Amino acid sequence: MRYNRKNIKFFLIMVLMASCNLGNGPKDTLGEVKALNIHDEITIGEIQKAFEDGEYTIVELTQFYLDRIQSIDRSGPTLNSVLTVNPDALSIARELDEERKRGRTRGPLHGIPVLLKDNIDTADKMPTTAGSRVMKDSYPLIDSPVAAQLREAGAILLGKTNLSEWANFHSSYSSSGWSGLGGQTKNPYDLSRNPCGSSSGSGAAVAANLGVLAIGTETNGSIVCPSNNNGIVGIKPTVGLISRTGIIPISFNQDSPGPMARTVMDATICLGTLTDVDNNDSKTTQMGREAYADYTQFLKKGSLKGKRLGYWATPLRDNVRMTKVMEEAITYFRENGAEIIVLDNFIYKSASDHSFEVLLYEFKDGLNKYLGNLGEKAPAKNLEEVIVKTFSDSLEMKYFDHELLKMASVKGNLKDKEYRTALGAMFRITREEGIDRIMNENDLDAIFSATGGPAWKTDLTNGDNFSLASSDPSAMAGYPVINVPMGHLDGLPVGISFFGRAWSEPILLAIAYDYEQGTLHRRTPRYLTSQE
């Protein structure tokens, strides 16, 4: 059945326990199990109304999610999507309940449980590891701006999610969602299939309602691909809209954190809380930056009418079944007043080669700086020491070769001509000769394409098996992209990506919201295992 928020009925927690082995739910002061009106697709707005109506407290909601993580992630289906649970989550929830009793609410995220990808620093009892066994005991002393802004907004940092180790920049081949520290994350729609990466745990956890929303990070596809495979909404904003300070890096010019949620509205609410300027991240202080504290103002039905949308068909190639799903989306756009312009391929293949050089240089530079900022308690002094410890660890080396670490280690510094040339060429091909050119020539409001194909079988022997991807242009240009569920193939979700010029989040969000509200393709996962 297609999910429709207007029609779905609330399920009592007792029913959920019977169907999902949730165990004991939140308890009142008498020690009795208290039933909560929480369904698998619950939104921020519904939770805030429940708080206001006294249906449950923030403590009770937090306990519900802690129990759900234990039941679905650690046992039962065993998604393996959450690496660490915050031991202080309930005490934080109590403080936020007290604030609410005193008449203070910090905004729509007050009391909302949020999961963070485990490459984002938090100054608490949770380590920040990037999934590497080398980093398992790394406890940063300062919150990242992302974590600090979420806390200030009243969110509860519920835990850290598993990820592709080092955000999937470690080996010549790999399985998305695998880390030496956390093992393999599973896809909640089919436990034998891949959640995609590197924000794999964030995507799987949000799809399974182990948190109301999550924060992922993307260098190239690492928010939109897990959003595609897990049937959720993912926003990778323009590089510089959200600070990257205190995030274990790959690329200064391509990395960005971003929200992942079950609805465009929830992801958009989160986005606006994260846009403060950070003087330690020069991308957030660049000329021309356009940021808003509230992006929900742009979410309006009817936003497709009059829009000129460019359809980039190249990623689909000869994929007949995906093309059929895409044609249904195109028909919907036209029926709702949008004009569709079919685009020739507008990104030269050489851009990917330039990007790879950039990533090698910037990974070495960025990781060395990150480790240096950890001070005396850093688990490794630099990339070279990370390599020594990784290659001497049999569990780290069991499946994958970690050769990218070595390739990065031999690069010079960011003043090298090879680096500067590659960076300039990458930006030229993807920006002025790429996205900006094609949009100007065709007077486009946005470009769309299939985000990816359905999830593939997880294979630790051969690695990932991508059928298609469309994240290259926006990733290499540093421009925004949003994934929204587009449909299903054999019960597996597939998504559509909307992308465009720098700082075009308002128009992309408007288009994505209108499409989502008119189609409602999101379905709740069932934790099946195919017999193929």
pLDDT tens for each residue of 294-307:
999 999 999 999 99
Active-site annotation holder among 117, 186, 236, 364: 117
* pLDDT at 76 (0 to 100): 87
Q: Residue range 316-338: average pLDDT?
A: 96
In the prediction, which pLDDT does 33 show? Answer: 42
More confident residue, 2 or 432: 432
Distance between CA atoms of residues 472 and 96, nearest Å: 41
Across 479-506, average pLDDT:
98
Q: Give per-residue pLDDT as tens, 68-93.
A: 999 999 998 999 999 999 999 999 99
**Dist CA 89 CA 112 (whole Å):** 11
Beta strand ranges found along 299-425 (DSSP E):
308-312, 339-343
Give Cα separations from 448 to 87, 258, 497 (angstroms): 42, 19, 5
Fold (CATH) for 13-519: Amidase signature (AS) enzymes (3.90.1300)
How do strand 113-117 and strand 213-218 relate by DSSP bridges? parallel
Percent of the chain having pLDDT more than 70? 93
Mean pLDDT of the chain: 93
Residue 40 near residue 206, CB atoms below 8 Å:
no
Locus of tokens 């790394």: 138
What Å distances lie between residue 260 and 143, 206, 220, 508, CA to CA?
20, 7, 15, 15
For residue range 332-378, list pLDDT tens digits in order.
Answer: 999 999 999 999 999 999 999 999 999 999 999 999 999 999 999 99
Token output for 148: 């600090």
CB atoms within 10 A of CB 320: 8
* pLDDT of 24 over the 80 cut: no
Cα distance between the two ends of the chain:
23
Average pLDDT for residues 158-173, to the nearest whole number?
98
Nearest-angstrom CA–CA distance, 144 and 141: 10
> In whole angstroms, what separates CA 47 from the centre of its chain?
22
Long-range contacts of 379-387 (CB under 8 A, 24+ apart): 379/134, 379/135, 379/136, 379/137, 379/138, 380/134, 380/135, 383/408, 383/409, 384/409, 386/132, 386/134
Q: How confident is the model at residue 264 (pLDDT cuts 50, 70, 90)?
A: very high
Residue 117 catalytic? yes
Catalytic residue among 174, 199, 202, 222: 222
Domain boundaries defined on the chain: 13-519
Q: Is the pLDDT of residue 1 over 90?
A: no
Rounded to 5 degrees, what are φ and ψ at 179? -140, 150
Q: What is the pLDDT of residue 34?
A: 62
Buried b (16+ CB within 10 A) or exposed e, 140-151: beebbbbbbbbb
Q: pLDDT tens, 433-461?
A: 999 999 999 999 999 999 999 999 999 99
pLDDT category of residue 529 using cuts at 50, 70 and 90 = confident
Residue 233: the pLDDT is 99
Which of 232, 278, 231, 228 has the alpha carbon at shortest distance from 256? 278
Closest Cα partner for 493 from 531, 448, 455?
A: 455
* 8 A C-beta contact, residue 475 and residue 221: yes
Please tell me which residue in 179, 198, 256, 474 is annotated as part of the active site. Answer: 198
CA distance 523 to 3: 5
The predicted structure's pLDDT at residue 191: 97
Q: 19 falls in which pLDDT band (50, 70, 90)?
A: very low
Q: What angle do the packed helices 264-272 and 505-519 form, to 10 degrees? A: 160
Residues 372, 392: Cα–Cα separation, whole Å: 22
